[in-house]
Structure 1
Amino acid sequence: MIKEILNNIERPIFRQYQKGQAIYRELEAPQFLYIVEEGIIGLYYNSENGKESFLRVYGPGEIFGHRSYFLEEPYHANSISLTKSKLMLIDRKQCDKICLQSPDLLKNMTKILARELGNAERRLARMADKSAKARIVEALVYLKLKHPEHHWTRKEVADFAVSTFESVTRILKELELAGLITKSGRSIEIIDEQKLLKYSIENY
């Protein structure tokens, strides 16, 4: 589906973002669809008490900002460049033209939205049933496998696992002593994903 979009763009807009630079903010009106060309993008929202909650990540070839764009509603979350990134931006005029030329695009976009909703519901169900250790281990495995080149911070892992910085620090130390991960500065390396997941189940 992404390749189909790219093939129908006459004058694509590309923008470079530095690490830590905001792409859009919560409650802003959507003006573009975004496709990741290079880098990693994070999506997060601020709760009423001011706490940031990390929702998900997008890598090369993935599209984001589409939910609010097609609903014509303000963004429900914030997006930030976790690494130096390059994005393709599609404005509404270009998108309308693509949709007219390729009706299947809308069907595919509906499938993407439905899949993301299902994944979000399953994630919430898993979070409610699992211990903090299991949530942190699963978050660590997911983030490291999805983007192994990125040095995920303890805060990012904690937010994604719906946990705390202190819990992540404590559990990472436990996992290191158990010989399941290695740490060097900010870098965390998983020695064996399957053994790590098994350990979190057996030692909850």
Structure 2
Amino acid sequence: MVQHLCVTLVPLFNYLSEDEQIEINQLARHQQFKKNEIIFKPGDEKLDIVARGSMKVYQLSPNGKEQLLRVVEPGSYEGENQLFGIKNETLFGEALETTEICSLSKQAFDQVMLRNPQIALKLFELSMQKMIQVEKQAQILSMERVEERLSNYLLDLSKVANDYQFSLPMKMIDIARYIGTTPETLSRKFRFLEDNRLIKRSGRRIIILNGDGLIDL
């Protein structure tokens, strides 16, 4: 596998000089994972940067059911809390396709922070943004009706895109897990929104036709 300068993909490191980025990249471990391979598990202490492919992050409910939290795309990462000494007790990372990962161990990251202490502040800021996303998901899951969860999920995507036209970032099965339903129910609710002319859908492409209608569901 060709080693990419993964750190150039990550906002956390993109303000560093090229020499500093190369130095950090040399500390990283470069790996390729096949679809469905586990990239990280509870107890791991590392920052995993997605260079190519995609990774889903999930936790298991007490009855063993998978709860999807997010999908990590190229340039994004997972594991920043472990770099600050917070143990990962529940999260798993799994490749959704052939995926290339650059991993920084806690020990390697400590070396980086000693020379670039401002990275710690930047990492904290980005972690807060991720916490906001987790809170949004918790709000969605607290809604009783699936169509209400789906509507709020689509409205959140629209806000991120700053447009009523956007692409779904996940497959249907992953969206179903994200909002706490089944793929079959999700398909029915999408048809419900389309039949009521609230949205238009073509594959992963979504156009919101009536934002107020989605809010009122």
Match in the other structure for 2:81 = 67
Q: Which moved more, 1:65-74 or 1:84-93?
A: 65-74
Unaligned residue ranges in structure 2 (runs of 5+): 1-11
Q: Where in structure 2 are the equivalents of 1:119-130 lying within 5 Å?
A: 119-129=133-143
1:18 is aligned, of 25, 28, 34, to 34
User: How many residues are paired up?
Assistant: 195
SS at 1:168's partner residue?
helix
Amino acid in the other structure paired with 2:122: N
Match in the other structure for 2:8 = none
Cα shift readout 1:75-118 (whole Å, capped 9, x = no counterpart): 42111112322111112332111010000111111222223223
Shift of 1:50: 1.6
Q: Distance in 1 between matches of 2:51 and 2:30?
A: 9
2:118 is aligned, of 79, 97, 104, to 104
Amino acid in the other structure paired with 1:128: S
Q: Distance in 2 between matches of 1:143 and 1:83?
A: 23
Going from structure 1 to structure 2, the CA distance change for 1:109 and 1:176 (only over 3 Å counts) comes to: same
SS at 1:2's partner residue?
coil
On the 8 A contact 1:2/1:61 being kept in 2, the answer is no
Cα shift readout 1:126-176 (whole Å, capped 9, x = no counterpart): 5435742131234356679889486612x2111111233342121122234
Amino acid in the other structure paired with 1:14: H
What is the TM-score when the length of structure 1 is the normalising length? 0.78
Q: Distance in 1 between matches of 2:171 and 2:185?
A: 15
Taking only the aligned residue pairs, the percentage that are identical comes to 19
Unaligned residue ranges in structure 1 (runs of 5+): none
On the 8 A contact 2:48/2:79 being kept in 1, the answer is yes
Going from structure 1 to structure 2, the CA distance change for 1:125 and 1:188 (only over 3 Å counts) comes to: closer
Going from structure 1 to structure 2, the CA distance change for 1:117 and 1:111 (only over 3 Å counts) comes to: same
Shift of 1:43: 0.7
Going from structure 1 to structure 2, the CA distance change for 1:44 and 1:151 (only over 3 Å counts) comes to: closer
Match in the other structure for 2:99 = 85
1:172 is aligned, of 185, 190, 197, to 190
SS at 2:205's partner residue?
strand
Q: Distance in 1 between matches of 2:157 and 2:40?
A: 22
On the 8 A contact 2:45/2:82 being kept in 1, the answer is no
On the 8 A contact 1:20/1:80 being kept in 2, the answer is yes
Q: Where in structure 2 are the equivalents of 1:148-167 lying within 5 Å?
A: 148=167, 152-153=171-172, 155-167=173-185
Going from structure 1 to structure 2, the CA distance change for 1:70 and 1:60 (only over 3 Å counts) comes to: same
